[in-house]
Amino acid sequence: MTEQKMQTVYARTLQLDDGLIAPYGGKLVQAFVPVHEKHEMLQRIEHMQRVEISAGELVELKMIACGAYSPLTGFMDQHTYKSVLDATKLTDGMSWGLPVTLGVTAEVAKSVNEGLEIALFRNDEAVGVMQVTDIFAWDAAREASVFGEGVKYKYPQITERKQRKVEYLLGGPVSMLTSRTDEVQRIKNIWPHDLRNLIIEKGWHNLAAIHLRNPWQRTDEYMLKSALEGSDAILLHMCNEVTPEKGGLLPSVLSGARRLLLENYFPNDRVLENPMPDGLFGSSPRAALQHAILSQNYGCASIYFPLSNEVDVTVHDFWEVFADTAKSGLRIRRVVMDIPFHCTLCGGIATVKSCPHEAEHHVIYSEADIVGRLLLGENLPPTVARPDIARAVARGMADKAVRGDAQGTHLYPHVSEISREVLESMAGHKAGVLWMTGLSGSGKSTIAHRIERELVLSGHRVYVLDGDTLRTGLNRDLAFGDEARRENLRRAAEVVKVLIDAGLIVIASFISPFTAEREMVREIVGANFFEVYVEANIETCEERDPKGLYKRARAGVIPKFTGISSPYEAPEHPDLRLNTSIQTLEECVKQFSDFIAQAGLMRASKHVRISDGLAGKNIA
């Protein structure tokens, strides 16, 4: 091929004057075989050495050809490859994060010589040509030491190349056999030049990218919407992964979950999707640098980097890799986002910047947690993903779930479209449980029903759940042995949880004598659990004995009666303590009512004291 012919076939550059942020290096590379040269090139390819490339390398070929990897004009030679690995820079000193290389087996490497023009094929289809300028050994160990093969810094190309028995890399300029006007490729990819024209057409001033691998969880949605609120639109570079990570979610499942999230919960004209190479979504600062470079070439004015609980990468790590990038022409604005979590007290997704509560109230699900649940056939909680998305993910992973007849698995409760937050908003108050514990005869039920009356008459949605009520209905099959009593409280806690989800304030009255059982209840119920200890000495309770239970217990008719023949473990640090041995009913109700207001469960405008007319009344 003549020098003139090479200049028309291989990479050229565009000097843009679109008023947007300049491409990295100042010019946008274009490396497509011109339309008028395509027929002749296809004829020449029939006589060229064929080299099959992987799916990931095909995507990288596209990125070079369309200018997303500007200023690169081809796959890296050995000098550039080593410079990127050792110094995070190209040979001219420009910052660069990841190697862009073409891997081949030893057999293929022996059949290729420097200076040879080769044809690049994917699935027996010619996709491009390459002028080989360098053939050198692939330094897999060095790449693994820089990027890592484990969870910390995911770089799937290393594993994939080992499976293909890659030993050598080819370097040299490329030209792709697909023009930007090809309709099929236009559907699959957005080219930088086209997107820049769209930005101008839409009148956008701040298109933003976000460094997310496959968004589908509630925390992903939070970060995407936070970024969108500060931008005109989001360019979402999608993971092109085709093989599942060991022990991870299937790529097809993640792709489907992402589609559900974007189609149902985002404006379709404000989120633009674009397939990208796998390595771009690694958690390392190098991958973040590469993503920033690519996004600037697309015309993005800013890029968001959410931190992750999965890897030990700090804000300092990000800023360090970007230290010298301004000298290279990297102008894109970088925004680091704190790790998001579900706060049980806030009742939603937040970060440490917006949540005032302690870490013990922050719920973060790792990928291992999620996969573990799914493999056991358990449903994902609504704090992980929206119900429709969670069901789709569970269905997609069903074939990988543990086989067997494990009780309670493979159940996926349908979650209401009306959230608890909406119900609370309509009621005008938060939902929660006031778990009253104390000896029989201490006054739990009496106080509970007086508080119920006060709250209902002041416009609250309240329900009193009493131990005897459950014992005569739902729990009538249970005896009074240790295991049966524990199961009685477990069922009660599940009922309370359902009532709270319905937006109610639940006043639960149960002796619940043991600390471990009360902690079990607290764990089941979750947020807005308040332990109320109704204290009374045994003498006072026996003197009251409204049901005659103590008398029968002393006579041996009732075995293992709490306070007589079975111990009661008093709460050491209850949220509220009411001592009915020394306080009147009115004093207890007033103290209880004040506590409910302080706990944030009471409607501020409806804090009416109905109990003012109860002075002097007895508790039991």
Sign of CA dihedral 453, 454, 455, 457: positive
> For the chain, what are the domain ranges?
3-183, 204-400, 420-614
pLDDT in tens, 232-291: 999 998 876 555 454 567 778 888 899 999 999 999 899 999 888 766 777 788 889 999
Residue 182 has pLDDT above 90, yes or no: no
Which has the minimum average pLDDT: 33-47, 135-149, 307-321, 334-348?
A: 307-321
8 A C-beta contact, residue 311 and residue 153: yes
User: Distance of alpha carbon 356 from its chain centroid, rounded?
Assistant: 21
- Tell me the average pLDDT across 361-372: 88
Tell me, letter by letter, the H, E, C secondary structure of 309-344.
CCCCCCHHHHHHHCCCHHHHCCCCEEEEECCCEEEC
Q: What's the rounded Cα separation, in Å, for the pair 184 and 205?
A: 29
φ, ψ for residue 559 (rounded to 5)?
-80, 160
Nearest residue to 382 (alpha-carbon basis) of 267, 527, 529, 266:
527
- How many C-beta atoms lie closer than 10 Å to residue 386's C-beta? 20
Q: What is the mean pLDDT of residues 218-228?
A: 96
What digits encode the pLDDT tens for the residues 75-89? 999 999 999 999 999
Question: What does the alpha-carbon distance between residue 44 and residue 451 come to, in Å, rounded to a whole number?
Answer: 89
Structure confidence at residue 183 (pLDDT) = 40
Is pLDDT at 328 greater than 80 in this prediction?
A: yes
Cα(78)–Cα(166) distance, integer angstroms: 16
Q: What is the largest CA-CA distance in the chain?
A: 111
- Would you tell me the crossing angle of helices 515-525 and 482-501 to the nearest 10 degrees? 30
pLDDT of residue 595: 94
Residues classed as catalytic: 512
Please say whether the beta carbons of 13 and 28 come within 8 A: yes
Phi-psi category of 383—alpha, beta or left, where left has phi over 0 and alpha has psi -120 to 50?
alpha
pLDDT band at 372 (very low <50, low <70, confident <90, very high): confident
Q: For residue 297, which of 64, 67, 4 has the smallest C-alpha distance?
A: 67
Mean pLDDT is lowest, of 470-479, 522-531, 601-610, for 601-610
pLDDT at 570 over 90: yes
Tell me the β-bridge partners of 465: 508
Q: What are phi and psi of 604, to 5 degrees?
A: -60, -35
State residue 142 phi and psi, 5-degree precision. Answer: -65, -45
Q: Tell me what pLDDT residue 422 has.
A: 81
Region 210-222: mean pLDDT is 92
The first and second tokens of residue 153, run together, are 């810094």
Q: What is the pLDDT of residue 181?
A: 44
Quick one: CATH architecture of 420-614? 3-Layer(aba) Sandwich (3.40)
CATH superfamily label, 204-400: HUPs (3.40.50.620)
pLDDT tier at 552 (50, 70, 90 boundaries)? confident
Per cent of the chain over pLDDT 90 is 55
pTM listed for this prediction: 0.68
Strands 74-75 and 168-176, sheet pairing: antiparallel
Q: How would DSSP label each residue in 109-132? A: HHT--TT-EEEEEETTEEEEEEE-
Please state which of the ranges 92-101, 295-304, 322-331, 598-607 shows the lowest mean pLDDT. Answer: 598-607
By C-alpha distance, which of 571, 467, 564, 483 is closest to 529?
Answer: 571
Q: Which CATH number is associated with domain 3-183?
A: 3.10.400.10
pLDDT confidence of residue 255: 86
Q: What is the per-residue DSSP string for 34-51?
A: -HHHHHHHHHHHTTSEEE
**377-397 average pLDDT score:** 86
552 token code pair: 């029968």
Q: Do you know the residue count of the chain? A: 620
Q: Is the pLDDT of residue 344 over 50?
A: yes
Q: Considering just the CA atoms, what is the radius of gyration of the chain in Å?
A: 33
**DSSP structure string for 463-513:** EEEEHHHHHTTTTTT--SSHHHHHHHHHHHHHHHHHHHHTT-EEEEE----
Query: Same CATH fold, 420-614 and 3-183?
Result: no
Sheet with 529-535: strands ordered across: 462-466, 505-509, 432-437, 529-535, 576-579
Cα–Cα dist 76/86, whole Å? 14
